[in-house]
Structure 1
Amino acid sequence: MTAELILVAHGTRSPQGLATVTEIAAAVAEHVGPVRTAFVDVLGPNPRELLAESTSPAIVVPAFLASGYHVNTDLPARVAESGHACVTITAALGPDPVLAAIMRTRLLEVGWTPGDAVVMAAAGSSDPAARRELVRAAALLGGLVGEVHLGFVATGAPTVADLVARIRAAGRRVFIASYLLAGGVFHTRLAGCGAHGVTDPLGAHPELVALLARRFALTPIPAFSPGGGTIDRCPLN
């Protein structure tokens, strides 16, 4: 039986952000076949609604750059509520070297040169595991570009604006690498932080699309872990 493929995003009221998620899902579908999109917040349908309509085995891929409440708690709960008997949830999208490479490309596009400082701008999370993943993502970027500071746009400290101000006060050039999936309120805030340049969000970059496609097609099906962020209800291999 063919598995149903569901891409899960956070959800946004930003038309630009929604358009990006739609573009990503369409591009992934070119690699793996039909992909449906669900949201855990703000918009519908949510994963419970899509899975309740389905009688096929389902693979659910969270398009999140780090795990946290939505990936570890909210999404598994919605899957359980659906009553679907055969669902696998993969790991979150990040951190991953592919995402670091995309950010490096974006930095070069806005004028970053070796020796310039970089602030990697993440939305942030109160979840300790998600914070550790963001630190890992910043380290992966640092391995490609050198000095990288991790800053937060919404939750946590230091903020992106504070880091940029501190670096500029030392007389240095600083660029913001947007570690956000799509445009919207959070990304718009970055323009006002005073950096010498701000990258575009990761968006529907071909390498990000390929990474998501691999999540659907190649990720080993994990065992059920009550304390974790993955569910394996029905092995598909």
Structure 2
Amino acid sequence: MAAPALVALAHGSRDPRSAATVTKLVTEARAQRPDLRIEAAFLELSTPSFQTVVDRLVKAGHDEIVVVPLLLTDAFHAKVDVPSVVAAAMERHPGLKIQATSILGLEACFLQVLDERLRAALKANRVRELDALVLAAAGSSDPLANQSVARLARIWGAHHKLPVTAAYASAAPPATGEAVRAFRLQGRRHIAMASLFLAPGFLPDRAAELALEAGAVAVSEPLGAHPEVARTVLARYAVGAVELVPV
């Protein structure tokens, strides 16, 4: 009996770098689990769509699919869009079993990835001193989603023994530029921004632009196709695959 297929379901973006990063992440996951059928799909703006990928898997003989939403916070897309496309796919293919897992989320191990990305940015900008950090995320109208980012920022700050402010690229204050300026008003001059985004795109670019304009000394790249992110995708899959097993 074949293992369920894994669909890594991202939101999608008009920026081609976003889809390219998701493709690289799937490639990394395949390298870690070559025994699995793993595909990338998108809710909107990028291709292939979720329905296209599901149709392809069904045609290939798969009757069980685990969907791992590549979302960092549990907001609208996770609560509405993912269940909607999953329900539509099962209606389209009677007998097909699809299990959507919990989102990728904000795992503590992602702080290691943030550190790695930030160290690379500091080295590229020849920065040797920091006295404050800004953790930039997409932002949401859901306050619980923003609170999860703020919680991770506090953990990160405690680890580095530095003040950290969570900032958002949309939907919630403060913006990254505001966060940097607030630190500068406190007399801090060596402020770096870490990008808590999965992939490049408009929002990460805007967050970086505002932070640099306000005086940030360095801005890191998004999490990207890091092995730790791929391992988290596979961990979510493992739970979803178990949940497909009849009781």
Coarse TM-score class (shorter-chain normalised): 0.7 to 0.9
- Which range moves more in the overlay, 206-215 or 173-182? 206-215
Report the counterpart of residue 152 of structure 2 in structure 1.
137
Q: How far did residue 206 of structure 1 move?
A: 1.8
Aligned residue pairs total 226
Identify the residue that residue 235 of structure 1 maps to in structure 2: 245
Please give the alpha-carbon distance, in whole angstroms, between the structure 2 residues aligned to 1:182 and 1:92.
16
Pair 1:165 & 2:181 matched: yes
Spell out structure 1 runs of 4+ moving beyond 4 A: 112-115
Greater helix fraction, Structure 1 or Structure 2: 2
CA distance in 1, matches of 2:246, 2:154: 34
Aligned-residue RMSD, C-alpha: 2.2
State the partner residue of 1:118: 133
Bigger-Rg structure (1/2): 2
Partner of 2:14: 13
The amino acid of 2:43's aligned partner reads: V
1:78 CA drift (Å)? 0.8
User: What is the rounded CA distance, in whole Å, between the counterparts of 1:69 and 1:12 in structure 2?
Assistant: 16
**Identity rate, percent:** 30
Query: Aligned AA for 1:144?
Result: H
Query: How is 1:143-222 mapped onto 2 (pairs within 5 angstroms)?
Result: 143-146=158-161, 147-172=163-188, 173-189=190-206, 190-194=208-212, 195-217=216-238, 219=239
Cα distance in structure 1, aligned partners of 2:231 and 2:176: 29
Q: Per the alignment, do residues 51 and 129 of structure 1 end up closer, same or farther by CA in structure 2, a change over 3 Å counting?
A: farther
Report the TM-score, using the length of structure 1 for normalisation.
Answer: 0.86
Q: Quote the Cα distance in structure 1 between the aligned partners of 2:88 and 2:219.
A: 41
What is the letter of the counterpart of residue 196 of structure 2?
Y
TM-score (norm 2): 0.83
Q: Which residue of the partner structure matches residue 142 of structure 2?
A: 127
Query: Which runs of no fewer than 5 residues in structure 1 stay unpaired?
Result: 223-231
Cα offset, 1:144, TM superposition: 2.1
Q: Distance in 2 between matches of 1:97 and 1:13?
A: 29
- How far did residue 221 of structure 1 move? 6.1
Instruction: Provide Cα deviations, 1:141-200, integer angstroms capped at 9, x if missing partner.
Output: 223223210000122111111111111233312110100111121222213423111011
Quick one: which of 36, 39, 52 aligns to 1:36? Answer: 39
Alpha-carbon distance, 1:220 to partner:
5.8
Letter in 2 for 1:19: A
Q: Does the 8 Å contact 1:5/1:34 carry over to 2?
A: yes
Partner of 1:51: 54
Gaps of 5+ in 2: none
| Secondary structure in structure 2 of the residue aligned to 1:193 | helix
Q: What is the one-letter code of the residue matched to 2:37?
A: P
